[in-house]
């Protein structure tokens, strides 16, 4: 049986205690993906996903990776059309580390200009490799045709042209608009002390960011083939 709660700053929490496991998974889900982009910033949600692993005010990219590796945990992320997720999987004794690490990435990523340029090259190479794969490319072409004229038609990774034009200011502005408490859900599942979970999340995710009224989407028209 899962439970729901809302932190004081508006972040929603959904959690399920599973007594027969010795691990815990924590996911930070942000309601933003490629559907929220424009042709000019196409791929920015995915770009931000990459950048949150590149260092915070108190952790380097190496620190982020090594902290999880040291305890045998996993940390990863993915971007979809409508949401972005950052998550950890650890033994149940390391919930505090997971929450501290994810909150640090969420609130304190520095977006170093040099790292942005390095990651831009990585993402462009990913796009080129993707476009060189017939199986992957035909899927994107199908989606582009099916949702022609709607943001759903745009590729999650963006294009070489759009990714080349993404700036640090664009990233920070996009973060301010979408990485808000009202647009974030934290999901926790596994073995953990239910009485301590919400106080821990309140402590680490206690920053109150301004909230934007996001315009509802119009119903997309499926164009077919």
Residues 44-75 have pLDDT tens digits of 999 999 999 999 999 999 999 999 999 999 99
Per-residue pLDDT reduced to its tens digit, 179-222: 999 999 999 999 999 999 999 999 999 987 766 677 777 788 77
Per-residue pLDDT reduced to its tens digit, 91-121: 999 999 999 999 999 999 999 999 999 999 9
Q: Which of 49, 117, 195, 221 is labelled catalytic?
A: 49
Q: Where are the domains of the chain?
A: 2-204
Instruction: Write down the mean pLDDT value for the chain.
Output: 94
Distances (CA, A) of 203 to 97, 166, 197, 206: 13, 33, 10, 6
* Residue 127, both tokens: 């796009």
Percentage of the chain with pLDDT > 90? Answer: 85
The domain defined by 2-204 carries CATH number 3.30.830.10: yes
Residues 6+ apart with CB under 8 A from 182: 10, 211
Verify whether residue 49 is a known catalytic residue: yes
């Amino acid at each position: 049986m899962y439970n729901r709660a809302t932190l004081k700053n508006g972040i929603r929490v959904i959690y399920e205690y599973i007594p027969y496991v010795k691990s815990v998974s924590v996911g930070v889900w942000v309601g933003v993906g490629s559907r929220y982009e424009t042709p000019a910033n196409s791929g920015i949600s995915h770009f931000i996903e990459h950048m949150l692993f590149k260092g915070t005010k108190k952790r380097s990219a190496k620190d982020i990776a090594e902290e999880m590796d040291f305890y045998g945990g996993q940390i990863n992320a993915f971007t979809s059309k409508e949401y972005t997720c950052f998550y950890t999987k650890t033994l149940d004794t390391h919930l505090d580390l997971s929450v501290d690490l994810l909150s640090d990435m969420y609130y304190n990523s520095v977006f170093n200009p040099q790292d942005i340029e390095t990651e831009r090259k990585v993402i462009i190479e990913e796009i080129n490799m993707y476009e060189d794969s017939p199986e992957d490319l035909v899927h994107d072409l199908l989606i582009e045709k099916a949702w022609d004229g709607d943001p759903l038609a745009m590729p999650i990774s963006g294009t070489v042209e759009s990714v080349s034009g993404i700036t640090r200011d664009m990233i920070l502005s996009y973060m301010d608009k979408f990485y808000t408490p009202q647009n974030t859900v934290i999901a926790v599942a596994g073995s953990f002390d239910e009485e301590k979970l919400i106080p821990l999340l309140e402590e680490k995710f206690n920053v109150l960011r301004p909230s934007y009224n996001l315009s509802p989407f119009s119903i997309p028209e499926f164009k077919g083939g």
